[in-house]
A and B are shown apart, each in its own frame.
Chain A
Amino acid sequence: MNRSEIQSLIEEKFPNSLIVNENLQGNQIEIDGQFWKDIATFLKNDPKLLFDQLECITGIDTGDDGPLQSRYNLHSMELRHKIEVIISLDRDNPSVESIEQIWRIGDWFERETYDMFGIVYEGHRDLRRILCPDDWEGWPLRKDYELQETYHGIMVPKVKEEEGWE
């Protein structure tokens, strides 16, 4: 099944959930975040779709006060089709429903995206940092991230423009 067929199936079941965006390429679709958990359940269980594999969750910062994005790469091992779901989130209060209980790997992927971008996955049972220390400040992969000066009394090295590492 290709993108437009999957798109029309979603449109049929959840009217007004798709967002029209001309910049999408390949198999990307953009949806409204408030429908996400229902759509995810539908994508996984509908016999025509059967997306049983969550390949990857990627956080993207579009920069310049633009929204943050959570991108989900889904794949169906049985029907051999792919889709990439994009959800744009408000920069000041990024939150979206968790799909951790639909695809179990979502647990760690969501924790990682939370760790790097500060996107809150509502309904996640154990949302805490995974790669950075628990008491780290800030969201490292956001474009406007600024390093903290010290961490437990240790100087945090910074990159200075032109001069290289301090």
Chain B
Amino acid sequence: MGVIQGDQMVLNIGPQHPSTHGVLRLEVMTDGEIVSKITPHLGYLHRCFEKHSENVTYEQVIPYTDRCDYLASMNSNFGYVVAMEELMDIKVCERVEYVRVIMAELNRIASHLLGVGAYGLDVGAFTPFVHMLRDRERILDIFEYTCGARLLYNYMWVGGVSHDLPKDFKKICFKFLDYFEPKIDEYNQLLTYNKIFVERTADVGVLPADVAISYGVSGTNLRASGVKWDVRKEEPYSIYDRFDFDIPIGEAKFGTLGDCFDRYWVRILEMKESIKIVRQALKEIPEGDIFETMPKKIRPPKGSIYRRTESPRGDLGYYIESDGSPVPTRVKMRSPAFTALSCLDEISQGWMMSDVLCILGSLDIVLGEIDR
């Protein structure tokens, strides 16, 4: 008798599938229930961000960056303006730096809430998702109160921000933080220590550190593999070197280092760190004029720059090439979710079909940013 070999079957997931977190098609080659190869097909949300950027002025690029990572628009803005200011050699005023850090960290919490909540949804826990959306709503309310928009803010401008904080912002923000901090323990009771959730995620989809680095995986996914790497600490931009916060890394809490549970758990821990940063920033924020350092004309000198910042999904880099005119020659966005998705094939081989969506969800991808 020869070797018994099952037939290979091709299964398409998406493009319209709730668990792909957007419009993504996965071509999955399966051997029975076991996955042997995954080919992701991207581009369904491609909106030509880079081509558009070459036809608009530098300040007009900012609203486009909003729409790339629509769950963390503040962080997308932040990356772009940090790169632009480095290119133009602008030192923005103290108050603006603090306002930006507060907004970026609040947006990080909001993004992680959705990432973690939707992950629960992916593996079958519906209730935590609703609780997390409820709390995310409060952050969006704060954003709306500050700049009038709930999702796509166009808030950070080169050299400043579009609106100053409202007078009672401190009070409202502290109130939210006091409300939100104990909620994290509630999530832990609801989801983190839920036996079904742990069984479903621990030991699944292990991403070893060397593979992660080779695939350019960054941010929470990389830290979950035990690499203590955070751009906010290692290459501090803005004023992140002034704050006291930790970098949570994966600790193999229930399974192997770098499994789905670790990636989930690092996000929960990071929300606590963001709360710490926002509290410190709110206490130290100085008075000042937010339009003081805003340039009248944005015309960077000839040259190019690559700068990366830490978005909720990882290293968000912008490559900007300028020829001295008000229109960029080239803007390239190096998106963290793009690199995270590229390792999906490698880490899901040999897992069951039902684990693929569990692994995909744990990478916390946003298709708007992958396809740009």
* Interface positions of A (Cβ within 8 A of B): 25-26, 28, 52-56, 58-61, 63, 71, 73, 77, 80, 84, 103-105, 107-109, 116, 129-133, 140-141, 159
Contacts and interface: CB of A to CB of B under 8 A. Distances in A.
Contacts, number: 77
Given A116-B50, A131-B46, A56 B317 contact: yes
A52 to B, nearest CB: 5
B216 A54 contact: yes
Contacts of B308: 55
Contacts of B251: none
B43 A77 contact: no
Contact of A84 (B43, B229, B306, B329): B306
Contacts of B213: 52-53, 77
B303 A108 contact: no
B216 A105 contact: yes
B332 A56 contact: yes
17 contacts: A26-B305, A28-B304, A53-B213, A53-B216, A55-B306, A56-B306, A58-B306, A77-B213, A104-B214, A104-B342, A105-B216, A108-B338, A109-B216, A131-B371, A132-B46, A141-B50, A159-B55
A2 to B, nearest CB: 16
A105 B330 contact: no
B1 interface: no
Chain B contact patch, size range: 35 or more
B310 interface: no
B371 A103 contact: no
Given A55-B308, A108-B339, A130-B42, 20 more contacts: A25-B303, A26-B305, A52-B214, A53-B213, A55-B306, A58-B330, A59-B332, A60-B321, A71-B319, A73-B319, A77-B227, A77-B229, A103-B214, A103-B216, A104-B215, A104-B346, A105-B216, A129-B43, A141-B54, A141-B330
A107 B342 contact: yes
